[in-house]
């Protein structure tokens, strides 16, 4: 297994973004969905990006991913520019055609397509998107919530999941269960949100530090942010 990407999602505060990047996160996720308690505006993301750029330790390596759910193209485009994003995560029912259009308009922006897995049949979608987007993300299905649910996936059912592009595992990961998940399946990265929070959008830096401590103790090779 190559070095593991570690994405901490639902960032809302500049000082927490800086601290999480210093701890080793490769990616920071920003929720661009107004109904979410973790919502941040493009301007807020831009402020956080500027704070990251101001610190030599976090200036260049950490990726800034905006998370969208069925957002209009114009909203995504503006957020990329104002928020200084390096990637977008599409967490709704965005079509392959929409993803292609976005890729053509922003070829240097990483595109992550999230699939909320309710059944193994949902994995068939992965084949369609894997040839279009840069990265896939598998999350647990919830009928009302698009993400940050704290629910885990059925990890044993994903043992044979090997799409033609890199993929990230999300869904209820915590410092306590991440090694159990990684012992069963081998994604190229992991995505945590509620599992390292005190409250929605308020990250628990002790839990983030514990996450990296557990990963290193488990001899998981990390891509340092």
* Active centre residues (catalytic): 9, 139
For the chain, give the number of residues. 225
| Nearest-angstrom CA–CA distance, 83 and 66 | 8
| Nearest-angstrom CA–CA distance, 197 and 203 | 4
* Strands 197-199 vs 202-203: parallel, antiparallel or unpaired: antiparallel
Q: What angle, rounded to 10 degrees, do the helices at 73-82 and 96-105 form?
A: 40
Whose structure tokens read 């592009």?
165
Please say whether the beta carbons of 217 and 33 come within 8 A.
no
Write out the two tokens for 40: 């941040």
């Amino acid at each position: 297994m190559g070095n593991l990407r570690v994405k901490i999602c639902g960032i809302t505060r500049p000082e927490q973004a800086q601290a999480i990047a210093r701890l080793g996160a490769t990616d920071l996720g920003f929720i661009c969905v107004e109904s979410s308690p973790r919502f941040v505006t493009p301007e807020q993301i831009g402020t956080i990006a500027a704070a990251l750029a101001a610190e030599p330790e976090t200036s260049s390596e950490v990726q800034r991913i905006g998370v969208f759910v069925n957002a209009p193209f114009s909203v995504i485009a503006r957020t990329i520019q104002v928020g200084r994003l390096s990637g977008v995560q599409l967490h709704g029912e965005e079509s392959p055609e929409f993803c292609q259009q976005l890729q053509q308009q922003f070829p240097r922006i990483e595109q992550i397509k999230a699939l909320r897995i309710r059944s193994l049949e949902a994995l068939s979608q992965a084949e369609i998107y894997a040839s279009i987007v840069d990265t896939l993300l598998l999350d647990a299905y919830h009928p009302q919530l698009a993400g940050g649910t704290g629910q885990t996936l059925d990890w044993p059912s994903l043992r044979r999941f090997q799409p033609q592009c890199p993929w990230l595992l999300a869904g209820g990961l915590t410092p306590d269960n991440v090694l159990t998940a990684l012992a069963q399946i081998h994604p190229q990265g992991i995505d945590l949100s509620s599992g390292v929070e005190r409250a929605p959008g308020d990250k628990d830096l002790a839990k983030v530090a514990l996450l990296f401590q557990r990963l290193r103790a488990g001899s998981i090779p990390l891509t340092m942010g």
